[in-house]
Amino acid sequence: MINTTVLLLAGGVGSRLNALVQSRAKPAVPFGGIYRIIDFSLSNVMNSGLTQVGVLTQYKPLSLMRHLGTGEAWDFTGRSRGVKILPPRTGFKDSDWYKGTADAVRQNIDYLEAHPSENVLILSGDHIYQMDFDEMIKFHSEREADITIGMMEVDISLIHQFGTGITDHEGRIVEWEEKPEKPRTNLASMGIYVFNTRYLLAMLDQDRKEVDFGMHLIPRAIEHDRVFAYPFKGYWRDVGTIQAYWEASMDVLNPESGISPEEWGIRSNPEVDGIVADRIPARFADSCHVSGSMISAGCVIEGEVVNSVLSPGVVVRKGATVRDSIIFADSVIEEGVTIDLAILDKQVKVGRNSIVGEGEDKQSRNRLYPKHLYTGITLIGKNVEVPPETVIGRNCILQPGCRPEQIARRIETGETV
């Protein structure tokens, strides 16, 4: 293993996840029952044998900081190991926050100087994937690259969401387009970079006004320096939207999808907030029916659960049905309730005989957030209490903390409360 320091970018607002990020950073959003999104990047770092990680936080970092703790869950404790939280330090206003990926790294040059290494690995904390960074670093070294970018082929209809690279026969990137409207390639950046440390420091010092790698610095580097594409062919997904998050969660239930957190060696912090630690095993009543689902410790299942992901402590009472849904920790689904194609945050209570996800119209977008909810998924925020006999349509949002007196007996498709 070539000596490498890791910077993990975990400060994005993640506004497209809507109610799921009102009280937490995007990398701290629960995923797959017992994990957080950031667990995948951290575990990949651990499994690749890297030992020094700086985590750049910014937006609502408290839950993320609690989750990281001392880093013990990922074996980042010891004399030569460590995970350090790196918040913005230029001021206290939103305008003083990191302005882009390059600006974030530039503000933490002192961390790189305190942990000298041959290379710097820069990651995002909001992707679901498994990757051996050791192989990527070897690739970088063998080609004597200044920058190596993790890249993979994606469907051409999605390429407008990514930075794209055109390569020569050696894999060297010769042209770059950031989120092109008319793409000329399907080779997309994964937001994973290996930099030669001296090169990175010189680049950041020279171009001090440039704030983003993909938008500013990488296109310029391609013109003058050695920038290579590292080909990746495994499972990888950016879960920055409600739709992508739901699809990735459903992939966990599909043995053919290529995602398997347990086989990948993904670790989480079981102690934080008591989410997993000391939970009793899940209990399944004789009356229950469960198929194609992930049920976590501490759940009580008396009703029906189909093709769904349930975090620890979820209760599904007799006569209730949960279908094609994601339910976060300690939520309670009372008797006679139907939950169909929905995401419920922590500690949601749905009263008896209610329906969440009613009707066949899945195409009428949410009126306030038409780019967030448009395929029928209904989103209920943290600590919401839905009163009994409430009917909630498709593509609806109930904001965190809604009390029963704020919720009408019928909420039409596309409405926000």
Domain 4-253 falls in which CATH fold?
Spore Coat Polysaccharide Biosynthesis Protein SpsA; Chain A (3.90.550)
Cα separation, 320 vs 356, in Å, equals 11
pLDDT at 275: 67
CATH 2.160.10.10 placement within the chain? 282-411
> Is a pLDDT exceeding 80 seen at residue 210?
no
Taken in order 243, 248, 253, 255, is the CA torsion positive or negative?
positive
H/E segment holding residue 261? helix 261-264
Smallest CA-to-CA distance from 259 within 275, 237, 274 is with 237
Tokens of 287: 């009356």
Range 291-311 average pLDDT: 97
pLDDT at 225: 93
pLDDT band at 300 (very low <50, low <70, confident <90, very high): very high
> Is a pLDDT exceeding 60 seen at residue 24?
yes
CATH 3.90.550.10 placement within the chain? 4-253
325-356: pLDDT as tens digits: 999 999 999 999 999 999 999 999 999 999 99
DSSP result, 90-110? S-SSGGGS--SHHHHHHTTHH
Please say whether the beta carbons of 309 and 33 come within 8 A. yes
Cα separation, 68 vs 62, in Å, equals 10
Q: Please tell me the CATH code under which domain 282-411 is placed.
A: 2.160.10.10
Please say whether the beta carbons of 113 and 98 come within 8 A. no
Please state the separation of Cα 138 from the chain's center in Å. Answer: 27
Please say whether the beta carbons of 304 and 285 come within 8 A. no
Smallest CA-to-CA distance from 33 within 265, 275, 274 is with 275
217-258: pLDDT as tens digits: 888 899 899 999 999 999 999 998 999 999 999 999 999 999
pLDDT at 89: 65
Please state the separation of Cα 394 from the chain's center in Å. Answer: 24
159-193: pLDDT as tens digits: 888 889 999 999 999 999 888 888 888 899 999 99
Please say whether the beta carbons of 287 and 318 come within 8 A. yes
pLDDT band at 274 (very low <50, low <70, confident <90, very high): low
